[in-house]
Amino acid sequence: MSPAKGEKAHCYREAGDVKFLFEAGGAGQRTVGKPRAGIFFQRRINVFEPRVAALAAFIAAYVLFIFLPGRRAFVSVCGAGFVVLAGAISAREAFWAINWNVMGIFVGTLVVADVFMESRVPAYLAEIIVDKAKNTTWAILFLCAMTGFISAFVENVATVLIVAPIAMSLAKKLDINPTKMMIAIAVSSNLQGTATLIGDPPSMLLGGFAKMNFVDFFFYHGRPSIFFAVEIGAIVSFGVLYLIFKEHKQKTALVKVEKVVSWVPTVILVSLIVLLAGSSFLDTDFSYMAGSLCMIFGVASVFWKKFVSKDSVVKGIKSLDWDTTFFLVGVFVLVGGITLTGWIEVISHWLAGVVGDDIFFGYTLLVFVSVAVSAFVDNVPFLAAMLPVAISMSQKLQVNPQLFLFGLLIGASIGGNITPIGASANIVACGLLKKEGYNVRFGDFVKIGLPFTIAAVAAAYLFVWFVWGT
């Protein structure tokens, strides 16, 4: 949304929202500022060229994310740099467009999860669960449930890497093809990663944008939140997995090979979860405490690993997922560029016009378009771009914003389960299978991923509507 001739526009962020106020001023000029709260910016720019530059950089970057997935961090950072150099936003605005609390959560939990994985505690527990199951069907289902539980607190790819060796061992013991089992583990990881603030980057993005803390993912404003929507979806989709694996009735016992290296990383992870829950009552605006805690525990994990294994601290830091880290930084700036130049308002106005006054249609459209797009496109940049659109649409339709925000997260996060390229965990699972000599065809993945996704999304979608749509 741009100011008319002879007007100045005041644009400010407040609680994840973007608002524009117009008043008399110089033609072709724009002033960006804030009222009582938010982030302060004030400058004068030519309103036309920067707007085009911001949109062009955004579209070009998102197209390249699809065709150059291996270079997404480079594309993201270059796009962000172009937006700043073109004058769409200043360097100061670009810095504050990055949600540093979310970045702290991502990097810190990445380190803690890495140390937790190396402790072998998850693999040890998975072996016990499989060994206690009454038959192979329930062993596979318990393994998927265990995967989901871990994924609620550990990044999805790391979770798949933790559980995969147990799944492969079970398949070899039974002399069965492990393809279906590995696909089930991957989709279970993606589903439950949505349930908590620290489970996966999309959840972190929602938390940062909507100022939702750790506890808010369980109960928000006195109502059941996203955690319960995901669990309802998990219960229904668990039935789908049972139908897929019900023919495996044989009973076998695994030879236990996993030994716990140390229980200290488990104590670190549990302590972090408890403190994050406590911080929810102290930092109610979700401004700094969660990210700070995660970084502190991440640093503690690095030095504990150095003390125990004598590994180089620098080596440990280099091994982290810096590709995704810089990718997120660039995406924040790209989205900040189209937000501050008014394009989010333009998009939301158009969508509101399509939806009209039908809130249920708007909610349904948002959820299932998100599912379809995320089946083929990385859900992180998609969600980052659509969160402000969802907020703006909810304001125009005068509906509780959580309805659209939760629906968007469900669609974008679970939709990636449909195809082998829809989520990083899927790609990793297929890569592990290929390494073992099993090629996963697109159709093989969809046969499991599609019914699983339909069941999980439909249940969660209805739950959110009944809780937040009225």
Range 440-451 average pLDDT:
91
DSSP at 310:
-
Range 458-470 average pLDDT:
93
What is the pLDDT confidence band of residue 180, given thresholds at 50, 70 and 90?
Answer: very high
> Taking 50 as the threshold, does the pLDDT of residue 289 lie above it?
yes
How many Å apart are CA 5 and CA 26, to the nearest integer?
Answer: 8
What is the pLDDT confidence band of residue 285, given thresholds at 50, 70 and 90?
Answer: low
How many Å apart are CA 218 and CA 225, to the nearest integer?
Answer: 5
How many Å apart are CA 392 and CA 165, to the nearest integer?
Answer: 45
Report CA dihedral (218, 412, 160, 66) to the nearest 10 degrees.
-150
Instruction: Please name the amino acid found at residue 460.
Output: A
How many Å apart are CA 17 and CA 416, to the nearest integer?
Answer: 27
Q: Any idea which of 145-149, 249-253, 408-412 has the lowest mean pLDDT?
A: 249-253
For 83-138, how does the pLDDT look when each residue is reduced to its tens digit (9 = 90+)?
999 888 899 999 988 888 878 888 888 788 788 878 888 778 777 877 777 788 88
Range 423-427 average pLDDT:
81
Residue 17, token pair as written in the block: 């929202």
How many Å apart are CA 112 and CA 182, to the nearest integer?
Answer: 24
Residue found by looking up tokens 């790819």 in the block: 157
What is the pLDDT confidence band of residue 328, given thresholds at 50, 70 and 90?
Answer: confident
Indicate if the alpha-carbon torsion angle 82, 87, 88, 91 is positive or negative. positive
How many Å apart are CA 210 and CA 252, to the nearest integer?
Answer: 48
Range 330-350 average pLDDT:
82
Containing H/E element for 111?
A: helix 100-118
Range 327-353 average pLDDT:
82
Burial of 210 (0-12, 13-18, 19+ CB in 10 A): buried
User: Which of 409, 351, 412, 406 is closest to 376 using CA atoms?
Assistant: 412
Residues 6+ apart with CB under 8 A from 441: none
> Taking 80 as the threshold, does the pLDDT of residue 51 lie above it?
yes
How many Å apart are CA 309 and CA 324, to the nearest integer?
Answer: 26
Contact 105, 294 (CB under 8 A): yes
Residue 244 has a pLDDT of 92
Contact 74, 309 (CB under 8 A): no
Q: Any idea which of 9-18, 152-161, 339-348 has the lowest mean pLDDT?
A: 9-18
How do the domains of the chain map onto residue ranges?
A: 1-46, 100-468
How many Å apart are CA 397 and CA 348, to the nearest integer?
Answer: 11
Q: Is 221 helix (H, G, I), strand (E, B) or coil?
A: coil
Of the two residues 461 and 116, the one the predictor is more confident about is 461
Mean pLDDT, the chain, rounded, equals 80
